[in-house]
Every structure is written in structure tokens, then in C-alpha cells.
């Protein structure tokens, strides 16, 4: 089993990292983690290369991610909530999925034939709600052919307690592990 993890947190030891650490400790198979704040992946430039060609004209670390998207079984998006949305760096990295959109709608191709399972972990404190961020993350997961998406796992009181002390969020992480280990219908 292979899992792609898109980590949208700027903090190496923050709440998102804490929940991801718990997930990775018991995750079966191998995983590739994209640290959106530290990777060499630029945002889409809307150069329109992918309207007529497979792949992307920008040569950076995303070239290593595209094959992993094709091969993996599971995709996880984990992010703090900023102004009721996933972080801008998640959006930068995932803007490069424009090639999937163009394959489908301009070139009439199936960009990611293998069905996958997806999951979203969001953390935050304050007054922003997770609904919009979860909707955005689900849209991104659908572009990578996640046919089944686990219900949202969210720790939303991190201004008062660490996410790793949130029993509901930890139960959600365990549920994601069970979900990822289940076989997806093709």
C-alpha cells in the first residue's frame, strides 16, 4: 500500500504535525510526504502547456509527485485552517493538478485511472469553520481520483489544547488508518 501525504503546515512540530505523526506511526506500507512549506514545488503559472500536452512544463519536485499520484492507493491532505481555508501553500502545490483537469476536459483523457481513497485532517483554533477547507480538500482529492473520502477529522480547539490531546481527533486518525487499509472497489 502506498500513501501520498500533503502536509500544509508551516510548523514542523505543530498540531498538524502531531496528528500526522500519529497517523504515520501506524500507517501500513510506504508513504511519500510533501511538505508544502519546504518543498521545491511552485504554483501553476497558467502557461496552458497542459491543455495540449501530458504533464507540466514546470520542472521541479512535482515531476516526482505525478507518478506517485498514479501509483498510490491513498491520499491524505493535512492542513491548519487559515481564514476558513486550507493553507495557501497547499493550494500552491495542488494548483499543479491543473494538468489533471486539462487532461480530462481539454484532451479527453483519464488523467489518473487508478481509484484511490482520500482523507483530510484539519486543525485550527479561533472562529474559522472547517467546512470550506474540507470542501476545497475534497475537490483536490477528486482531481486525483479519490472515489471514497473519509469523513473529516478535525481538531478545532487548538488555541486551547493541542491536537494530540483531542481524543475525538485521535479516534478519527485511527479511523482513517482502518479506512486506508480497506480495499477500494474498482
Arithmetic mean of pLDDT, 7-33: 96
pLDDT, tens digit, 9 for 90 and up, residues 94-153: 999 999 999 999 999 999 999 999 999 999 987 778 999 999 999 999 999 999 999 999
Distance CA 27, CA 1 (A): 9
pLDDT greater than 80 at residue 183: no
Distance CA 24, CA 3 (A): 10
Distance of CA 176 to the CA centre of its chain: 13
Mean per-residue pLDDT over the chain, rounded: 95
Please, which residues bridge with residue 149 across strands?
118
Arithmetic mean of pLDDT, 14-22: 97
pTM (predicted TM-score): 0.95
- What the chain holds in terms of domains, given with CATH numbers, is 2-181 (3.40.50.360)
Long-range contacts of range 127-131, CB-CB < 8 Å, 24 or more positions apart? 128/81, 128/82, 128/83, 128/84, 129/84, 130/81, 130/84, 130/154, 130/156, 131/84
Amino acid at each position: 500500500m502506498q500513501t501520498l501525504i500533503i502536509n500544509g503546515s508551516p510548523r514542523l512540530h505543530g498540531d498538524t504535525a502531531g496528528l500526522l505523526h500519529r497517523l504515520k506511526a501506524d500507517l501500513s506500507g510506504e508513504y511519500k510526504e510533501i511538505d508544502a512549506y519546504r518543498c521545491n514545488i511552485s504554483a501553476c503559472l497558467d502557461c496552458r502547456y497542459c491543455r495540449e500536452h501530458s504533464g507540466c512544463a514546470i520542472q521541479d519536485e512535482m515531476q516526482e509527485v505525478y507518478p506517485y499520484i498514479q501509483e498510490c492507493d491513498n491520499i491524505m491532505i493535512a492542513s491548519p485552517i487559515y481564514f476558513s481555508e486550507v493553507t495557501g501553500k497547499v493550494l500552491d502545490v495542488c494548483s499543479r493538478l491543473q494538468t489533471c483537469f486539462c487532461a480530462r476536459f481539454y484532451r479527453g483523457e483519464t488523467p489518473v485511472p487508478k481509484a484511490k481513497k482520500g482523507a483530510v485532517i484539519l486543525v485550527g483554533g479561533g472562529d474559522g469553520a472547517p467546512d470550506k477547507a474540507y470542501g476545497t480538500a475534497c475537490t483536490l482529492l477528486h482531481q486525483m481520483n479519490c472515489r471514497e473520502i473519509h469523513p473529516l477529522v478535525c481538531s478545532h480547539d487548538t488555541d486551547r489544547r493541542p491536537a494530540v490531546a483531542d481524543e475525538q481527533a485521535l479516534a478519527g486518525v485511527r479511523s482513517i488508518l482502518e479506512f486506508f487499509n480497506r480495499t477500494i472497489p474498482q
